[in-house]
Amino acid sequence: MAGQQRVLLGVTGGIAAYKSAELVRALRERGCEVQVVMTRGAREFIGAATLQALSGRPVREDLWDAAAEAAMGHIELARWADCVLIAPATAQCLARLAHGLADDLLSTLCLATDAPVYLAPAMNRLMWAHPATRANCEVLAARGVTLLGPGIGDQACGETGPGRMLEPQALVAAVLKDPAGPLAGRTVMITAGPTREPIDPVRYLTNRSSGKMGFALAAAAREAGARVVLVTGPVALATPPGVERVDVETAAELHEAVHRRVGDCDIFIGAAAVADYRPREYAGEKIKKRDATLTLTLDRSPDVLASVAALASRPFTVGFAAETCEVERHAREKLARKQLDMIVANQVGPGRAFDTEDNELLVLWPEEGCQVFARAPKRELAEALIALIATRSRPEDAAVVP
Ligand code: CTP
């Protein structure tokens, strides 16, 4: 952990405040000093005694608390912090900060600090989507505040959509720069999701891919200490905290985005489901259904993975192989043909791999190297895979791995 040991944790009044206790504990486990500041609303959701016991410091709640101010004034507290993390950050909190209000302790501290400020929004999906909240987020981002999440999923109000606070471990990974881990100091580039090859303004060719595996790998690589660049096609997933995301649409754009940055990378993982062919002609106007059949001529797209593996000074290069049969034979053939350092194979078909939460993998590398990862949630598989990649990508360690 570099230089951010003193965390000023703001807790505002949302149901996700119950997760703040876990967050304090996770920060303490990583060696941070944590000073909790609660708003009046937060007190409706979680007791100060809980946060005080876990942080080992009295919780600050009031700008006008003379005893607390005498011990450490609010300006001193703002200077003390290496970073400010507000989790959960309600819609109300975002609005106050966007307007620069200073009518309670937490908002005053945010104005008085020059430490980085991170916000973990948590609210109902419609509140998050409201133009007022959108505008507040834009103002805050333009001022250098980092928004972490929100995640997408089931909400306490019974609805589903964006607005869930990110999990405490994800917040810790985002806030503590350069975490120690097997990939500390290394840069990892990951491609994820499908590509879209336009046919006309309303149609495109694409592959089945939710992007979940690539995004899980990006989160795991970041948690293992890497700098992570995630180049992704169109997906409905939130960016993992601390990960740099580049959005692309077509295979050609993916190729371009990868080669612009891959020179700085130590490890490249191609998890994207790239469309192998693209329509030769793009019809500027919508194609009308005039004839009984329609013929499209398709051209091969660049093979991004193979082009990275072919670089003179190349990163440790890992590919994926989605196969419907003879998984091992096809994957070994692909490993050799594309000259990869490792290939991660899985069987695809109805109910397997696509859009599912779990998966099972066969990992192969040259000279008959092989490891099977039994069926598990993608998140767990990603962590195991990143650990294996971290080991095998160091030549001195790779030699001793069975
Ligand atoms: N890939 C890529 N660029 C492409 C096609 C594939 O980077 N244009 C990468 C994928 O991200 C994946 C790997 O190549 O890591 C395997 O893709 P796949 O389409 O299964 O392999 P192909 O070589 O196209 O083989 P085949 O079509 O015979 O299955």
* Structure token pair of residue 150: 């929100």
Separation of 321 CA from ligand 1 center, angstroms? 7
Contact partners, residue 138, CB within 8 Å, separation at least 6: none
Q: Where in the chain is the domain with CATH 3.40.50.1950?
A: 6-175
Which atom of ligand 1 lies at the shortest distance from residue 338's CA?
23
> Please, are residues 238 and 151 in contact by the beta-carbon 8 Å criterion?
yes
356 to 4, 235, 289, 386: CA distances (angstroms): 37, 14, 35, 20
DSSP label of 262: G
Residue pointed to by tokens 């997906």: 235
Question: What is the rounded CA–CA span in Å between residue 163 and residue 150?
Answer: 5
Give the model's pLDDT for residue 156.
84
Asked whether 274 lines ligand 1 (CB < 6 A), one says yes
Question: What is the rounded CA–CA span in Å between residue 392 and residue 76?
Answer: 47
Among protein residues, the one whose CA lies closest to atom 9 of ligand 1: 305
Question: With 70 as the cut, is the pLDDT of residue 3 above it?
Answer: no
The amino acid present at 264, given as its one-letter code, is D
> Please, are residues 171 and 148 in contact by the beta-carbon 8 Å criterion?
yes
> Please, are residues 189 and 315 in contact by the beta-carbon 8 Å criterion?
yes
| 0.75 surpassed by pTM | no
Share of the chain above pLDDT 70, in %: 95
Asked whether 268 lines ligand 1 (CB < 6 A), one says no
Among protein residues, the one whose CA lies closest to atom 12 of ligand 1: 320
Q: Is the dihedral of CA 320, 323, 327, 333 positive or negative?
A: negative
Give the model's pLDDT for residue 380.
93
What angle do the packed helices 168-175 and 18-29 form, to 10 degrees?
50
Question: With 80 as the cut, is the pLDDT of residue 7 above it?
Answer: yes
Which atom of ligand 1 lies at the shortest distance from residue 322's CA?
20
Residue 351: pLDDT band with limits 50, 70, 90: low
Asked whether 332 lines ligand 1 (CB < 6 A), one says no
Of 299, 305, 325, 344, best ligand 1 pocket probe by most atoms within 8 Å of the beta carbon: 305
Q: Is the dihedral of CA 113, 119, 124, 129 positive or negative?
A: positive
* Structure token pair of residue 230: 């995630």
Asked whether 258 lines ligand 1 (CB < 6 A), one says no
Separation of 213 CA from ligand 1 center, angstroms? 15
> Please, are residues 28 and 51 in contact by the beta-carbon 8 Å criterion?
no
List pLDDT tens digits, range 284-294. Answer: 999 999 999 99
* Structure token pair of residue 188: 């990892």
Question: With 70 as the cut, is the pLDDT of residue 399 above it?
Answer: no
Asked whether 327 lines ligand 1 (CB < 6 A), one says no
Catalytic residue (choose from 32, 83, 137, 157): 157
Which atom of ligand 1 lies at the shortest distance from residue 275's CA?
8
Asked whether 322 lines ligand 1 (CB < 6 A), one says yes
| Structural element, H or E, at residue 318 | strand 316-323
Which atom of ligand 1 lies at the shortest distance from residue 334's CA?
23
Q: Where in the chain is the domain with CATH 3.40.50.10300?
A: 187-397
Residue 359: pLDDT band with limits 50, 70, 90: confident
| Structural element, H or E, at residue 48 | helix 48-55
Asked whether 214 lines ligand 1 (CB < 6 A), one says no
Give the model's pLDDT for residue 57.
96
Whether residue 32 lies in the annotated active site: no
Q: Give the chain's length.
A: 402
Give the model's pLDDT for residue 2.
41
List pLDDT tens digits, range 117-175. Answer: 999 999 999 999 999 999 999 999 999 999 999 998 888 888 888 899 999 988 998 88
**How is domain 187-397 classified at the CATH fold level?**
Rossmann fold (3.40.50)
Residue 47: pLDDT band with limits 50, 70, 90: very high
Give the model's pLDDT for residue 178.
58
List pLDDT tens digits, range 295-335. Answer: 999 999 999 999 999 999 999 999 999 998 999 999 999 99
Question: What is the rounded CA–CA span in Å between residue 215 and residue 230?
Answer: 8
Q: Return the higher-pLDDT residue of 132 and 399.
A: 132
**3-state SS assignment for residue 277:** strand
Asked whether 278 lines ligand 1 (CB < 6 A), one says no
63 to 20, 60, 116, 148: CA distances (angstroms): 21, 8, 21, 27
Q: Return the higher-pLDDT residue of 360 and 352.
A: 360
Of 269, 276, 323, best ligand 1 pocket probe by most atoms within 8 Å of the beta carbon: 276
Asked whether 309 lines ligand 1 (CB < 6 A), one says no
Asked whether 270 lines ligand 1 (CB < 6 A), one says yes
Q: What is the mean pLDDT of residues 258-278?
A: 96
121 class by beta-carbon count within 10 Å (0-12 exposed, 13-18 middle, 19+ buried): buried
Return the exposure string of 305-331: e unless at least 16 CB atoms fall within 10 Å of the residue's CB, then b: bbebbeeeebbbbbbbbbbeeebeebb
Q: Residue 300's beta-bridge partner residues? A: 277
Contact partners, residue 31, CB within 8 Å, separation at least 6: 1, 5
CA dihedral (324, 329, 335, 338) in degrees, to 10, reads -70
Average pLDDT, the chain: 92
Which atom of ligand 1 lies at the shortest distance from residue 308's CA?
7
Separation of 392 CA from ligand 1 center, angstroms? 22
Residue 352: pLDDT band with limits 50, 70, 90: low
Homologous superfamily of the 6-175 domain (CATH): Flavin prenyltransferase-like (3.40.50.1950)
Q: How far apart are the first and last CA of the chain?
A: 31
Question: With 70 as the cut, is the pLDDT of residue 353 above it?
Answer: no
Separation of 183 CA from ligand 1 center, angstroms? 26
Which atom of ligand 1 lies at the shortest distance from residue 191's CA?
11
Separation of 11 CA from ligand 1 center, angstroms? 46
Q: Is the dihedral of CA 180, 183, 184, 190 positive or negative?
A: negative
Asked whether 276 lines ligand 1 (CB < 6 A), one says yes
